[in-house]
A and B are shown apart, each in its own frame.
Chain A
Amino acid sequence: MRHWWFPESASSYAGDLDSLFYLILYITGAVFLVVEAGLLWFVIRYRRRPVAAAPGAAEPKAYYIEGSAAAEIIWTMIPAVLVVLVAVLSQGLWYHLKDGAPSNATPIGVMVKQFEWQFTMAGADGRLGTDDDITRKDHLTVQVDQAYQLELQSIDVIHSFFVPAFRLKQDAVPGMTTRAWFRATRIGEYEVACAELCGLGHYRMPARLVVLSAEDFTRWQAAEAPPPPPPGGGGGGSGQ
């Protein structure tokens, strides 16, 4: 049952997102309790009870009141203040999620189609589009505590790159390049899911995101690097 809540948090901003969620939960939870308790109380307290009235007498009456300006003002202002607070507190994190990638973030190319992910990881040179890039299907390997900038492209329909453990989600839209960034904070293996209906195989597009320590990552990179191009020949293809 411990799985019936947030997955572990494994990115630098996951904790902040969870905290914001909890803040909203406390605020909405309080309102929820007030309203539901109020309703329940009213139903019990003000339920009409049969009155032994004199024959021919009319129904006993409720309290006649048309409203209260004071009450209206109070229950307008308090919700207004609370929701604006939520918006204001959210803005910082939103800006960080969208624009907070450090300038030294390593690029990752994500090419998604029905129904698989293709990841192109920069090789040791830290740049995409060079000969040492490593391309894998449904498998992404990164180094812990290192920032990565994703460039997402879709070949066919809209998909959405979703890493629950990172709290990261970004739609990949054909005809556009969308961007997202993360820094993994825990070593481990995490699942990537597609979070936008993309056709029959939408349900079976998992990918593995592996976070390695610095040494393990360097070792992995060296082992996976494509062979250098033969002298005078064309570039080697990347292994699968």
Chain B
Amino acid sequence: MTASTPTAHGPAGHADHHAEPSFLRKYVFSTDHKVIAIQFLFYSLFFLLVGGALAMLIRWQLGFPGQPMPGAGVLGDDAAPGGVIAPKFYIGLVTMHATYMIFFAVMPLLVGTFANYLIPLKIGAPDMAFPRLNMWSFWLMIPAGVLALAGLVVEGGSAAAGWTAYAPLANSPDYTGVTGGQVLWCLSIAVFAASSLLGSVNYITTIINMRAPGMVWFRLPLSVWALFITAILAILAVPILAGAVIMLLFDQILHTHFYLPAVGGQPLLWQHLFWFFGHPEVYILILPAMGIVSEIIANGSRKPIFGYHTMVYAICGIAFLGWMVWGHHMFQSGMNPILGTSFMVSTVLIAVPTAIKVFNWMGTMWRGRLWLHTPMLNAIAFVAMFVIGGLSGIFMASTPVDMYIHDTYFIVAHIHYVLFGGSLFAIFAGIYFWFPKMFGRMMNERLGKLHFWTTFVAYNATFFPMHLLGIAGHMRRIYDPNAYQFLQPLQPLNTFISVSAFALFAAQLPFIVNFFWSLFRGRPAGMNPWRDNGLEWTVPSPPPHGNFAHTPRVLHGPYEFSHPDTVEDFLPQDQPLPARPGA
């Protein structure tokens, strides 16, 4: 086979054209997708920590209601008089916990960090199609994040209408008791939407236009497919959120009445708009995670992904069906019951492509030669936990059953099984897997396994009992369940969940220590420590600016593990498949 085409912009050529950029240009206002990805990584991990801390406060109140929390003095007398969390602060906590986790942690991790880092490298491109736009997409997250955090410190407290901001509750301080905080929430979402938009334009254009020769569509790694479809979802769904939030903002500051019924506005209009965005949004939160898991399970099993083409179609099927199910969040809303039936049908159907993916992951592991490195453990946990989340979704899909479990902790359990058991385990898997490529150093395997096992146990101890709470009728967003007699016997469960949650938070310490220690003292990684096939493993760790000295030529798909005719049990995409012996 011929050598790949030399380019004008290999690292050597690059240095001739530009003087060495300043520190600011190289690490702060960088247009290099890898630097931007790492910026997103630090940004999101910070918000993951903040979101987790808020969850600890929530769980303190639920586990030990009305009791002063150690150290709560720092929260001030408004939020926690005498160290006891106040009801208004509590609702602000549940609102901002979800807001930070969804918009400022998980999305920037999956669609900021991994999309930015992996797409150009895995398709054989030197960078994104629009590097400066890419830089802007990160820097817009700074004002968005500041606006989001500001709510915690302004007078009147943070937004307190839930992350779903239902109208008319969210529209007026008369209802929430919150003035600036709710407006800040709207503004932070609007700025976030702009950032998301710039990112998605980049990902879609880059994947269509900048694939190296030979990287035809059905040789794309599944992580790239997932990120591509996710970006399309984001392009179409996030603007709906922007429109809805702008109308909410105008109701708050311009005295409009879009969602206020007194003069003909419609509260249900908000729900329809929000969930029309909101349902594709949850697929935005899970599809990239599924893509990452596919890469790691194939790698850890030393086997091709089982059913690659089907996996691609399943991603497309999930994304397509995801547009038609939004009403399942509104079964009890007063919406026409006939719509309840139609949304129930479309909702149960989404289980099908999802099931296909789960079985294909299992098929990949079957008869594999499992290398249970830390990323693989996290990826397997994703499959095991996401299945639980998906199956619990079937209960909600049934409209009559949903009548009972809507707005109970059964829903909270479902959310956290798919978002933590799903997305977050995949994120951990991805960080452990690509950290060596990003930073040139391995993370410590022992600490990684300690982190994994403690997280796995504490996570299940925290969230599985929430199913029971929901079945017993425990509502969501309740400051003090003991106000209801039928909830009082559930207090021991709540306390158990809270203690498990504290353990879960503490279990992240090995990860934090491992991450920062490995940045400076990790074992040098080499080019391909996981013996993987992706193009990113054919360049140094970390890759130079411009990624590839010569444009790669892609010769086959990304999952040629354990091919009978290769010497090794893996075969990078730019290496030829050997001719059959005796041919």
Do chains A and B make direct contact within the complex (CB under 8 angstroms)?
A: yes
Residue contact B267 to A173, C-beta cutoff 8 Å? yes
Q: Tell me if A67 counts as interface (CB < 8 A to partner B).
A: yes
Contact A203 B303 (CB under 8 A): no
CB < 8 Å: which of A35, A62, A169 contacts B332? A169
Least distance between B410 CB and chain A CB atoms (Å): 10
Q: Which of A35, A64, A95, A175 contacts B384 (CB 8 A)?
A: A35
- The 8 A CB mask of A61-99 against B (1 = contact, 0 = none) is 111111110011001100110011011001101110111
- At the interface, yes or no: A235 with Cβ under 8 Å from chain B? no
Most buried by A among B88, B261, B262, B564: B261
Most buried by A among B303, B355, B398, B471: B398
Spot the interface stretch: A120-128, A159-167, A219-227: A159-167
Residue of B with least CB distance to A167:
B404
* B72 sits at the interface (CB 8 A): no
Q: In the complex, what residue of chain A is closest to B313 when comparing beta carbons?
A: A72
Taking the closest CB of chain B, its distance from the CB of A62, in whole angstroms, is 4
Interface contact A24-B398, CB-CB below 8 Å? yes
Distance from A24 Cβ to chain B, minimum over Cβ atoms (Å): 5
How distant is the Cα of A108 from the Cα of B489 in the complex, in angstroms?
Answer: 31
Which of B391-417 touch A at CB < 8 Å?
391-392, 394-395, 397-401, 403-404, 406-408
Determine if A132 is an interface residue (Cβ-Cβ < 8 Å).
no
Q: How far is the CA of A10 from the CA of B394 in the complex (A)?
A: 25
Bound state CA distance, A162 and B473, in angstroms? 9
| A49 and chain B: residue at smallest CB distance | B369
Given contacts A32-B387, A47-B372, contact A199 B168 (CB under 8 A): no
Which residues on B sit within 8 Å (CB–CB) of A196? Answer: 166, 407
B53 CB, nearest partner CB in chain A, Å: 22
In B467-498, which residues have CB < 8 Å from any A CB? 468-469, 471-473, 475-481, 483-486, 489-490, 493
CA distance A31 to B384 in the complex (A): 11
**Interface majority SS (helix, strand, loop, mixed), chain B:** helix
- Asked if A39 CB lies within 8 Å of chain B CBs, one says yes
B172 to chain A, nearest CB (A): 9
Q: Which residues of A contact B267 (CB under 8 A)?
A: 158, 173-175
Interface pair B358/A35, CB less than 8 Å apart: yes
A169 touches B363 (CB 8 A): no
Chain A CB within 8 A of B367 CB: yes
Q: Indicate whether B351 reaches chain A with its CB closer than 8 angstroms.
A: yes
Interfacial chain B residues near A27, Cβ < 8 Å = 394
Q: Contact flags (1/0) for A142-155 with B, using CB distance below 8 Å?
A: 00000000000000
Q: Is the CB of B169 within 8 A of A64?
A: no
Q: For the complex, what is the distance from the CA of A191 to the CA of B474, rounded to whole Å?
A: 12
- Contacts A6-B472, A59-B569, A99-B337 given; does A87 touch B397 at CB 8 Å: yes
Q: Does B528 contact A (CB under 8 A)?
A: no
Interface stretch of the complex, out of B131-139, B229-237, B341-349, B437-445: B341-349
- B 441-465 binary contact with A (CB < 8 Å = 1; else 0): 0000000000000000000000000
Of the listed stretches B4-12, B304-312, B423-431, chain A binds: B304-312
- List chain A residues, Cβ under 8 A from B479: 202-203
CB of A176 within 8 Å of the partner chain? yes
Cβ–Cβ contact A35 & B387, under 8 A: yes
Contact across chains for A71 and B363 when beta carbons are under 8 A apart: yes
In the assembled complex, the Cα of A172 lies from the Cα of B481 at a distance in Å of 21
Is there a chain A Cβ closer than 8 Å to B508's Cβ?
Answer: no
A54 CB to nearest chain B CB (Å) = 14
CA distance A195 to B352 in the complex (A): 31
Task: Judge whether B169 and A160 touch: CB under 8 Å.
Answer: no
Q: When A3-B489, A67-B307, A94-B399 are in contact, do A176 and B334 touch as well, CB less than 8 Å?
A: yes
With the chains together, A75 CA to B306 CA distance in Å? Answer: 13
Verify B87–A17 contact, CB threshold 8 A. Answer: no
| Partner of A66 from B177, B304, B407 at Cβ < 8 Å | B304
Evaluate contact between B567 and A58: CB separation under 8 angstroms.
yes
Interface hits, B292-314 → A, CB 8 Å: 301-304, 306-310
Contact flag A79-B355 (CB < 8 Å), given A59-B569, A158-B166: yes
User: Which of A36, A83, A168 lies at the interface centre, i.e. has the most chain B CB atoms within 10 A of its CB?
Assistant: A83
Q: How far is the CB of A78 from chain B (nearest CB, A)?
A: 8
Q: Are A75 and B359 in contact (CB under 8 A)?
A: yes
Residues in B with CB closer than 8 Å to A64 are 303-304, 561-564
Task: Determine the chain A residues whose CB is within 8 A of the CB of B394 once the complex forms.
Answer: 24, 27-28, 83, 86
B368 CB contact (under 8 Å) in A6, A63, A71, A93:
A63
Is B365 at the interface (CB under 8 A from chain A)?
Answer: yes
Q: Interface 1/0s, chain A 26-38, versus B by CB < 8 A?
A: 0110011001101
Known: A20-B401, A43-B380. A91 touches B568 (CB 8 A): no
Instruction: Kindly supply a per-residue 1/0 record for chain B positions 111-122, scoring 1 wherever the CB is within 8 Å of any chain A CB and 0 otherwise.
Output: 000000000000
B310 touches A72 (CB 8 A): yes
Complex Cα spacing A193 to B486, Å: 10
Measured in the bound complex, the distance between the Cα atoms of B408 and A61 in whole Å is 48
Contacts of B106 in A (CB 8 A): none
Query: How does the 8 Å CB contact mask read for A2-16 relative to B, with 1 for contact and 0 for none?
Result: 011111000000001
Chain B minimum-CB-distance residue to A16: B400
A21, A64, A170: most-surrounded residue (chain B CB, <10 A): A64
Indicate whether B356 reaches chain A with its CB closer than 8 angstroms: yes
A4 touching B562 by the CB < 8 A rule?
no
Interface string of A170-185 (1 = CB under 8 A from B): 1111111010000000
The verdict on B340 contacting chain A, using a C-beta distance below 8 Å, is yes
- From known contacts A86-B394, A94-B400, infer whether A35 and B302 are also in contact, taking CB-CB under 8 Å: no
How distant is the Cα of A90 from the Cα of B344 in the complex, in angstroms? 9
B83 at the interface (CB under 8 A from A): no
Chain B hits for A48, CB < 8 A? 302, 369-371
| Inter-chain contact B340/A98, CB cutoff 8 Å | yes
For B490, the chain A residues whose CB sits under 8 A away are 3-4
Asked whether, in the complex, the Cβ of A206 is within 8 Å of the Cβ of B564, the reply is no
A73–B392 alpha-carbon span in the complex (Å): 24
Contact for B175 among A38, A90, A199, A204, CB less than 8 A: A199
B159 to chain A, nearest CB (A): 12
B525-563 interface bits toward A, Cβ cutoff 8 Å, 1 = contact, 0 = none: 000000100000000000000000000000000010111
With both beta carbons as reference points, the residue of chain A lying nearest to B568 in the complex is identified as A58
Q: Are A157 and B169 in contact (CB under 8 A)?
A: yes
Interface residue B67 (Cβ < 8 Å from any Cβ of A): no
Instruction: Determine whether the beta carbon of B161 is less than 8 Å from that of A65.
Output: no
Residues of chain A with a CB closer than 8 A to B468's CB: 4-5
What residues of chain A lie closer than 8 Å to B519, measured between beta carbons? none
**B residues 359-378 with Cβ under 8 Å of A?**
359-360, 362-363, 365-372
17 A-B residue pairings within 8 Å (CB atoms):
A6-B471, A17-B401, A27-B394, A59-B302, A60-B569, A61-B302, A65-B306, A67-B310, A87-B398, A90-B398, A90-B401, A94-B341, A171-B334, A178-B334, A193-B473, A195-B407, A203-B478
Known pairs A24-B401, A61-B569 / 20 extra A-B pairs, C-beta < 8 Å: A7-B473, A20-B401, A43-B380, A68-B306, A71-B307, A72-B307, A79-B351, A79-B355, A84-B345, A87-B398, A162-B473, A169-B403, A175-B267, A196-B407, A197-B162, A198-B169, A199-B91, A203-B477, A203-B479, A203-B483
Q: Which residues of A contact B (CB under 8 A)?
A: 3-7, 16-17, 20-21, 24-25, 27-28, 31-32, 35-36, 38-39, 42-43, 46-48, 58-68, 71-72, 75-76, 79-80, 83-84, 86-87, 90-91, 93-95, 97-99, 114, 156-158, 160, 162, 164, 167-176, 178, 191, 193-204, 206
